[in-house]
Amino acid sequence: MSQENKTAASVVTEFFIVGFPGLQPKYYSLMAALLFCIYIAVITGNSLILVLFVTERSLFKPMYIIMLSLSLSDIGFCTVALPKVISRYWFNDGYITFYVCLFQRQLIHYFGTLNSLIMMIMALDRYLAICHPLRYPVLMTNRTMRLLIGLSWVTAMIAPTISLMQTVKLPFCGPNMIDHCFCDGTSINQLACADVSLTNLIAYIVAMFVLGRMKAFSTCATQLTIIIIFYVPRFVFYSLLPPLVNPFIYCIRIKEVRQFFLKWCVQRNRMSLKVHRLTISK
């Protein structure tokens, strides 16, 4: 890069998260409240799933290890994506420093890639369970599943890093308004003072490589529902929809999870009745 470009690249030191272009200021508080409720719902729902799997030993099975990992990924994604846009609408604090924006971008794409890999493993697990039911207990043990999930958490960093390295090389000397709710690759690249065709092409190829590994779809309704929700919607809330609804899908579609929650509710009611009776007797 020439000295002139290096100087230009140092002009932009921070970006501004626009959020939803065209949204009138009178709706800012309402939007912030909505996003905050979504965040709380995601954290609460997925945290309940985590507590469920940690406390109920009978759920220590390959399929539930996948769901545990997916819940952790959903919590991570929303924790990275939502706080800043909530701050933008609640406190009009939409500024984010250049390198923090790049860091957010890296994590956004990391968790997106991780979700794709986890769902690929989910499809593989269901394929073995349906097509090779007798060999399934041998082929897909808890140890094997933990290994696959661990590899996913590690290798999910490769694709976002390749794309980030291309973005870092770009000069940023012009507008710093990101027309999105968070820093993502496309939004940042559009603000570069250079031709980004090659950068976008590399990012597209890397993304297609990750998504292309999702060809094996499961015939299981629960897993297929999660996959459809993740990939089909292309509106502004599409990234937040899967973390929000996944815990409800688990509870509705999976018999063992429903039974555990019913059991837990019954125990809580019995305990409440005992406490109430003791209080009356005193």
Tens digit of each residue's pLDDT (9 = 90 or more) over 171-228:
888 788 888 888 888 888 888 888 777 777 777 676 666 656 544 444 455 555 555 5
What are the φ/ψ torsions at residue 12 (nearest 5 degrees)?
-80, 115
Percent of the chain at pLDDT exceeding 90: 23
Which residue has 């997106």 as its token pair? 112
Give the range among 10-14, 76-80, 220-224 with minimum mean pLDDT.
220-224
Lowest mean pLDDT among 19-23, 58-62, 165-169: 58-62
Residues 118 and 66 sit within 8 Å (Cβ to Cβ): yes
- Tell me what percent of the residues of the chain surpass a pLDDT of 70: 71
Residue 213: what pLDDT?
A: 52
pLDDT in the model for residue 218: 41
Segment 66-95 shows an average pLDDT of 90
Which is higher by pLDDT, 253 or 50?
A: 50
Residue with tokens 């090389």: 169
Cβ contacts of 227 within 8 Å, gap of 6 or more: 119, 122, 123, 214, 217, 218
Residues in the chain: 282
Can you give the pLDDT at residue 219? 42
Residue of 66, 165, 65, 173 lying closest to 109 (CA atoms)? 165
Contact 90, 28 (CB under 8 A): yes
* Mean of all residue pLDDT scores within the chain: 78
Q: How far is it, in rounded angstroms, from Cα 262 to Cα 273?
A: 17
Q: Is the pTM of this model over 0.85?
A: no
Q: Given a cut of 50, is residue 235 above it in pLDDT? A: no
Q: Work out the pLDDT band at 75, boundaries 50, 70, 90.
A: very high
Output the pLDDT for position 114: 92
Give residue 208's pLDDT.
Answer: 66
pLDDT at residue 157 in the model: 93
